[in-house]
Structure 1
Amino acid sequence: LGVTLFKAATGEVPFTSTDWFELARMHVEAAPPSLRKKRPALSKRFERLVMKCLAKHPDDRYRDASALLADLAEVDGKPPAGLLARWREWWSG
Protein backbone atom coordinates (compact mmCIF):
# COMPACT_ATOMS: atom_id res chain seq x y z
CA LEU A 1 0.00 0.00 0.00
CA GLY A 2 2.88 2.36 0.72
CA VAL A 3 4.21 2.05 -2.83
CA THR A 4 0.71 2.67 -4.20
CA LEU A 5 0.33 5.83 -2.10
CA PHE A 6 3.83 6.98 -3.07
CA LYS A 7 3.06 6.50 -6.77
CA ALA A 8 -0.32 8.23 -6.46
CA ALA A 9 1.30 11.22 -4.75
CA THR A 10 4.38 11.59 -6.95
CA GLY A 11 3.69 9.75 -10.20
CA GLU A 12 6.79 7.64 -9.54
CA VAL A 13 7.63 4.48 -7.62
CA PRO A 14 10.06 4.87 -4.71
CA PHE A 15 12.73 2.60 -6.17
CA THR A 16 13.81 1.99 -9.75
CA SER A 17 16.57 -0.06 -11.33
CA THR A 18 17.12 -2.01 -14.52
CA ASP A 19 18.72 -4.75 -12.41
CA TRP A 20 16.09 -6.81 -10.57
CA PHE A 21 18.61 -7.87 -7.89
CA GLU A 22 19.50 -4.23 -7.19
CA LEU A 23 15.80 -3.35 -7.08
CA ALA A 24 15.15 -6.10 -4.53
CA ARG A 25 18.12 -4.90 -2.46
CA MET A 26 16.75 -1.36 -2.50
CA HIS A 27 13.37 -2.57 -1.25
CA VAL A 28 15.06 -4.34 1.65
CA GLU A 29 17.82 -1.87 2.56
CA ALA A 30 17.38 1.61 1.05
CA ALA A 31 15.36 4.38 2.63
CA PRO A 32 12.59 5.62 0.36
CA PRO A 33 13.09 9.10 -1.08
CA SER A 34 11.30 12.02 0.51
CA LEU A 35 7.82 12.64 -0.87
CA ARG A 36 8.11 16.35 -0.13
CA LYS A 37 11.33 16.68 -2.12
CA LYS A 38 9.41 15.40 -5.12
CA ARG A 39 6.17 17.25 -4.28
CA PRO A 40 6.79 20.09 -1.79
CA ALA A 41 3.06 20.91 -1.56
CA LEU A 42 2.37 17.62 0.22
CA SER A 43 1.89 17.88 3.97
CA LYS A 44 4.45 16.57 6.43
CA ARG A 45 1.66 14.53 8.00
CA PHE A 46 0.89 12.78 4.70
CA GLU A 47 4.59 12.15 4.11
CA ARG A 48 4.88 10.53 7.57
CA LEU A 49 1.84 8.35 6.82
CA VAL A 50 3.31 7.10 3.53
CA MET A 51 6.75 6.55 5.06
CA LYS A 52 5.16 4.53 7.85
CA CYS A 53 3.46 2.37 5.21
CA LEU A 54 6.86 1.92 3.53
CA ALA A 55 8.72 1.04 6.75
CA LYS A 56 11.12 -1.86 6.37
CA HIS A 57 10.31 -3.51 9.70
CA PRO A 58 6.72 -4.73 10.15
CA ASP A 59 6.60 -3.40 13.73
CA ASP A 60 7.16 0.10 12.33
CA ARG A 61 4.15 -0.12 9.98
CA TYR A 62 0.46 0.29 10.76
CA ARG A 63 -0.85 -2.62 12.81
CA ASP A 64 -4.15 -2.73 10.87
CA ALA A 65 -6.32 -0.84 8.42
CA SER A 66 -8.21 1.03 11.12
CA ALA A 67 -4.97 2.55 12.45
CA LEU A 68 -4.06 3.68 8.94
CA LEU A 69 -7.56 5.08 8.41
CA ALA A 70 -7.35 7.05 11.64
CA ASP A 71 -4.13 8.74 10.51
CA LEU A 72 -5.44 9.20 6.98
CA ALA A 73 -8.50 10.96 8.37
CA GLU A 74 -6.18 13.43 10.12
CA VAL A 75 -4.12 14.29 7.05
CA ASP A 76 -6.25 17.28 6.13
CA GLY A 77 -8.36 17.39 9.26
CA LYS A 78 -11.28 15.43 7.87
CA PRO A 79 -11.74 12.25 5.87
CA PRO A 80 -12.84 12.44 2.26
CA ALA A 81 -16.62 12.21 2.07
CA GLY A 82 -17.76 8.64 2.62
CA LEU A 83 -14.27 7.14 2.50
CA LEU A 84 -14.14 5.90 6.09
CA ALA A 85 -17.61 4.40 5.88
CA ARG A 86 -16.78 2.57 2.63
CA TRP A 87 -13.49 1.27 3.98
CA ARG A 88 -15.02 0.13 7.27
CA GLU A 89 -17.75 -1.70 5.37
CA TRP A 90 -15.21 -3.33 3.09
CA TRP A 91 -12.90 -4.39 5.96
CA SER A 92 -15.75 -5.78 8.05
CA GLY A 93 -16.71 -8.09 5.20
Structure 2
Amino acid sequence: MKKLLIGGVAVLLATTTSFAQSQTPTTSQTTPAINTENNPAAPVAGKNSFTEAQAKSRLEDAGYQNISGLKLDDQGVWRATADKDGKQTNVSLDFQGNITMAK
Protein backbone atom coordinates (compact mmCIF):
# COMPACT_ATOMS: atom_id res chain seq x y z
CA MET A 1 0.00 0.00 0.00
CA LYS A 2 2.82 2.34 0.91
CA LYS A 3 4.57 1.69 -2.46
CA LEU A 4 1.32 2.35 -4.30
CA LEU A 5 0.84 5.68 -2.50
CA ILE A 6 4.45 6.76 -3.18
CA GLY A 7 4.11 5.72 -6.83
CA GLY A 8 0.86 7.72 -7.19
CA VAL A 9 2.43 10.83 -5.67
CA ALA A 10 5.45 10.50 -7.97
CA VAL A 11 3.21 10.27 -11.07
CA LEU A 12 1.16 13.25 -9.90
CA LEU A 13 4.29 15.37 -9.36
CA ALA A 14 5.75 14.37 -12.73
CA THR A 15 2.51 15.25 -14.52
CA THR A 16 2.19 18.62 -12.78
CA THR A 17 5.81 19.56 -13.54
CA SER A 18 5.40 18.51 -17.15
CA PHE A 19 2.21 20.54 -17.53
CA ALA A 20 3.78 23.64 -15.98
CA GLN A 21 6.75 23.46 -18.33
CA SER A 22 4.58 23.04 -21.42
CA GLN A 23 2.71 26.30 -20.91
CA THR A 24 3.62 28.91 -23.51
CA PRO A 25 4.38 32.26 -21.95
CA THR A 26 2.39 35.17 -23.30
CA THR A 27 4.24 38.07 -24.85
CA SER A 28 3.08 41.64 -24.92
CA GLN A 29 3.57 43.95 -27.86
CA THR A 30 6.14 46.61 -27.03
CA THR A 31 7.16 49.74 -28.82
CA PRO A 32 10.91 49.90 -29.35
CA ALA A 33 12.77 52.88 -27.99
CA ILE A 34 14.34 53.36 -31.39
CA ASN A 35 12.28 52.74 -34.47
CA THR A 36 13.82 50.29 -36.93
CA GLU A 37 11.60 51.38 -39.81
CA ASN A 38 11.42 54.88 -41.20
CA ASN A 39 8.21 56.63 -40.17
CA PRO A 40 6.61 58.42 -43.13
CA ALA A 41 5.31 61.10 -40.74
CA ALA A 42 8.86 61.90 -39.57
CA PRO A 43 10.20 63.93 -38.01
CA VAL A 44 8.00 63.12 -35.03
CA ALA A 45 7.90 65.61 -32.16
CA GLY A 46 8.60 64.19 -28.72
CA LYS A 47 11.04 64.07 -25.83
CA ASN A 48 14.40 63.25 -27.41
CA SER A 49 16.94 61.29 -25.38
CA PHE A 50 19.77 61.44 -27.95
CA THR A 51 22.76 63.49 -26.85
CA GLU A 52 24.34 65.81 -29.39
CA ALA A 53 27.19 63.33 -29.92
CA GLN A 54 24.74 60.44 -30.44
CA ALA A 55 22.67 62.50 -32.89
CA LYS A 56 25.78 63.41 -34.89
CA SER A 57 26.94 59.79 -34.88
CA ARG A 58 23.56 58.53 -36.15
CA LEU A 59 23.60 61.10 -38.95
CA GLU A 60 27.14 60.09 -39.90
CA ASP A 61 26.15 56.41 -39.86
CA ALA A 62 23.35 57.31 -42.30
CA GLY A 63 25.91 58.75 -44.73
CA TYR A 64 25.81 62.45 -43.84
CA GLN A 65 29.09 64.38 -43.73
CA ASN A 66 30.20 67.89 -42.76
CA ILE A 67 27.40 68.15 -40.20
CA SER A 68 27.04 71.71 -38.91
CA GLY A 69 24.62 73.74 -36.83
CA LEU A 70 23.32 70.67 -34.99
CA LYS A 71 20.67 71.91 -32.55
CA LEU A 72 17.78 70.35 -30.62
CA ASP A 73 14.61 72.34 -31.38
CA ASP A 74 11.64 72.94 -29.08
CA GLN A 75 9.81 69.95 -30.61
CA GLY A 76 12.57 67.52 -29.55
CA VAL A 77 13.99 67.15 -33.07
CA TRP A 78 17.70 67.45 -33.81
CA ARG A 79 18.23 69.64 -36.90
CA ALA A 80 21.41 70.34 -38.85
CA THR A 81 22.91 71.13 -42.22
CA ALA A 82 24.93 68.32 -43.78
CA ASP A 83 26.27 66.95 -47.05
CA LYS A 84 25.05 63.72 -48.59
CA ASP A 85 25.77 62.42 -52.07
CA GLY A 86 27.62 65.62 -52.87
CA LYS A 87 24.70 67.90 -51.99
CA GLN A 88 24.20 70.13 -48.97
CA THR A 89 20.81 69.72 -47.31
CA ASN A 90 18.90 70.29 -44.10
CA VAL A 91 18.49 67.09 -42.11
CA SER A 92 16.60 66.13 -38.97
CA LEU A 93 16.67 63.30 -36.43
CA ASP A 94 13.64 62.71 -34.22
CA PHE A 95 13.33 60.84 -30.92
CA GLN A 96 12.39 57.59 -32.74
CA GLY A 97 15.64 57.66 -34.70
CA ASN A 98 13.98 58.70 -37.97
CA ILE A 99 16.35 60.69 -40.18
CA THR A 100 14.72 62.93 -42.74
CA MET A 101 16.18 65.18 -45.36
CA ALA A 102 14.49 68.40 -46.45
CA LYS A 103 13.23 68.15 -49.99
TM-score, structure 2 as length reference = 0.19
Structure with the larger RCO, 1 or 2 (CA within 8 Å, 6+ apart):
2
Q: Which has the larger radius of gyration?
A: 2
Of Structure 1 and Structure 2, the greater strand share is in 2
Of Structure 1 and Structure 2, the greater helix share is in 1
TM-score, structure 1 as length reference = 0.20
